[in-house]
Each structure stands twice: as C-alpha cells, then as structure tokens.
Amino acid sequence: MSQSFGRGAYPNTRLRRLRAKDFSRRLVRETQLSSDDLILPLFVIEGRNETQKVASMPGVERLSVDLLAKKAKTVRELGIPAIALFPVVDPSAKSDCASAAHDADGLAQRAVRELKNAVPELGVITDVALDPFTNHGQDGLMDHSGYIVNDETVEVLVQQALSHAAAGADMVAPSDMMDGRIGAIRDALEGAGHSNTLIMSYAAKYASAYYGPFRDAVGSAGNLKGGNKASYQMDPANTDEALHECALDLQEGADMVMVKPGMPYLDIVRRVKEELRVPTFAYQVSGEYAMHCAAFENGWLKREAVILESLLAFKRAGADGILTYFAEEAAQLLQD
C-alpha cells in the first residue's frame, strides 16, 4: 500500500486520536449500515395459519400466505424496503417440465398478490428458477443424459417471470444461471407491458457448499439426491468470470446484479462494484446464517455484535444491499 498519504510522521500523526472518543469515531466513520440496506428472504407454504420450522436454520420459519402478509407489515414497520419470496411447493406440484412454476394461481403468484394487497409499498422480489418445481431438484430442465439444458429452460423461466410480473411483483430475480435468460426475460417483460418491473440478476452465483440449509427450506435437497449444479453455477475458483457474467447480464437488461454467497465472496463484491459501478447486491446465504447461529447458541460469539459486524462487512466491500435472514433482527438493533 502506498504511504504517500500527506500525513506527517508520529507523533504529529496519531491515528488513535480519532478513535479516542465516540463522537469522533462517528464523525469519521467511512461505512454506514441502515435498514435501507436490508432485504428479508421469506419462505411461503400452502395452508392457512400454518408455520413450519426450518431445522437447519434456527429462528427461520416457512409461513402460509396469510401469515406472510402479517409478517410483511412487521417488515415494513422496521423500515426494511423489500422481501425476497421463495415458495415451498407440495411434491405433487413438482414435475420434469416444472409447469407449476408459471401457474397464474400458483403459490408464489398468490403470495405476491396477497403481499401487494396487504402492504403495497413494500418491495416484493420473486425468485425465478425451477428448482422448487422440478422433481430432480435442479434449476432447469434435464435431458435424457442428466444434463441441464439451457435454451429450453430459458423458455420456461420467461413464462415464470411473466407470471410473477402479472401478479404484481416489483422485481424478478433470476437465480438459475442459464445463459441468455436476462435478455429473454427483459424482452418478454417489455413486450407484455411490464417495462417498470426490475430485474435483479443472480449474475455471479457460485456452485457453493453453503446452500445446504436453503435447499432443506425449499424442499429441493431430497430431490437433488446428492447431485450438484456445477454445470451451470460458477466455479468457486474464478473471479474474472464473475465480471463477464455481470457485464453480460447488464447488457441484456438487468437493473442490478447479485453475488452469492456473501461473506466468502466479498472479494467478488468489491471487484464488481469497483469495475462495473452498478447497483451490486450480495446474499448472506443459509449456510452463513446457520454457522453464525450455531456459534451464538454455543456461546462462542456475541449475537448482536456479530450480526451487525457481518452485515457491515458487506457494505464495506461495496454492496448496495444485502439479502439476509438476520434482516428483522438487524433492523431492530439499528433502531435501538
């Protein structure tokens, strides 16, 4: 690091002077975290007044649509601008062709309508991917050899995104990592009159080992049967490729890009933000959440301090926003 900062040598420069008191630490703080930076992922299930605990994610529950609407009101009151919606469908709704993904009366579509009716000012972000709806747990359609086919999958993703927009989703978030899907979805949204529907692309989504609890939560782990998604999600060893993925998605019409997972990939967040200078988001994924919770429950880490420090790290790296299961708790801590 260059030392030509224009500061004098010690003792003329004592950097601890700025740290000595609370007021001066606050005045020179470089990074700020607020509830405006948070997005809460929520899992929705069928039924009424139904909750299901997610065993691998302490404190996280799947909610029926009516309870989801109540939760949304709490989220709004905490100042959190948006939720990200993930449906957990019955096994009977899963198929080879994932047709339930774009059913106008499907679980996700009904949940969007209810959310926008209950709390219209809260942003609703929907997941565009087929893994909750395929009987093999992959994010796309599968050919006879077990390979996830690209173009045929994109056709279904377009239908899914259109059904979400028609239901009232403010933003669709393709998380599938198929090539060309952003351009196809953007063209379809424009053609259907949904020109203001935002696209948040999971542009740099890695084939990570940190997703296990999420797959439990949405019910795709059992269908996946130990398989992996390395043929379409990114190799964790690559960084330049992430820039190419983000740049392509932006050219195709994405309004913002996401890096996933979060904390193990903060170097990617930094590169994307510095080199592309676009709205950049990160997902503090289920495995990160579960690890933190395990440490909290064992008394190894201080819960409140670590939650806020972990989220501040995303902001410091350059993230404009963070999807996190700690969003409610963090927003309350920031209010206090």
What pLDDT, in 10s, does the model give residues 171-189?
Answer: 999 999 999 999 999 999 9
The predicted pLDDT at position 5 comes to 63
Q: Which amino acid is at 264?
A: P
**Which tokens in the block code for residue 198?**
């935002």
Contact 152, 199 (CB under 8 A): no
Q: What is the mean pLDDT of residues 32-57?
A: 96
Contact 83, 70 (CB under 8 A): no
The answer to whether the peptide bond before residue 11 is cis (omega within 30 degrees of 0) is yes
Residues in CB range of 279: below 8 A, 6 or more apart:
255, 256, 257, 320, 321
Long-range pairs for 72-75: beta carbons < 8 A, 24 or more residues apart? 72/115, 72/118, 72/119, 72/122, 73/118, 73/119, 74/328, 75/40, 75/119, 75/122, 75/327, 75/328
The predicted pLDDT at position 212 comes to 87
Residue 300 three-state SS: coil
**Residue 229 is a catalytic residue:** no
**Which tokens in the block code for residue 117?**
């009716």
Residues in CB range of 210: below 8 A, 6 or more apart:
261, 264, 285, 286, 287, 288
In 3-state terms the chain splits into helix, strand, coil percentages (rounded to 5) of 45, 20, 40
Check 71, 94, 205, 315 and give the catalytic one.
Answer: 205
The predicted pLDDT at position 3 comes to 52
The predicted pLDDT at position 45 comes to 96
The predicted pLDDT at position 318 comes to 97
Residue 86 three-state SS: strand
Helix pair 107-118, 151-167: axis angle to 10 deg:
30
Residue 287 three-state SS: helix
Mean pLDDT taken over the chain: 94
What pLDDT, in 10s, does the model give residues 116-147?
Answer: 999 999 999 999 999 999 999 999 999 999 99
Pairing of strands 61-64, 51-53: antiparallel
The predicted pLDDT at position 216 comes to 82
**Residue 260 is a catalytic residue:** yes
State the pLDDT confidence band at 225, using cuts at 50, 70 and 90: low
State the pLDDT confidence band at 222, using cuts at 50, 70 and 90: low
Run of H or E residues at 138: none
The predicted pLDDT at position 7 comes to 84
Nearest Cα residue to 36 out of 79, 84, 78: 79
Measured distance CA(131)–CA(220) in Å, rounded: 6
Q: What is the pTM of this model?
A: 0.94
Q: Where are the alpha helices (DSSP H) in the chain?
A: 22-27, 65-77, 107-118, 151-167, 181-191, 212-218, 221-224, 240-252, 266-276, 286-297, 303-317, 327-335
The predicted pLDDT at position 218 comes to 84
Helix pair 286-297, 303-317: axis angle to 10 deg:
150
Contact 56, 46 (CB under 8 A): no
> Residue 52 forms beta bridges with which residues?
62
Q: What is the percent of the chain where pLDDT is above 70?
A: 96
Measured distance CA(284)–CA(292) in Å, rounded: 11
Indicate the range of 3-17, 96-110, 299-313, 318-332 predicted with least confidence: 3-17
State the pLDDT confidence band at 206, using cuts at 50, 70 and 90: very high
The predicted pLDDT at position 326 comes to 98
Check 71, 94, 229, 260 and give the catalytic one.
Answer: 260
Measured distance CA(93)–CA(311) in Å, rounded: 36
Reported as half-sphere exposure (CB side, CA atoms, 13 A), residue 163 has a value of 22
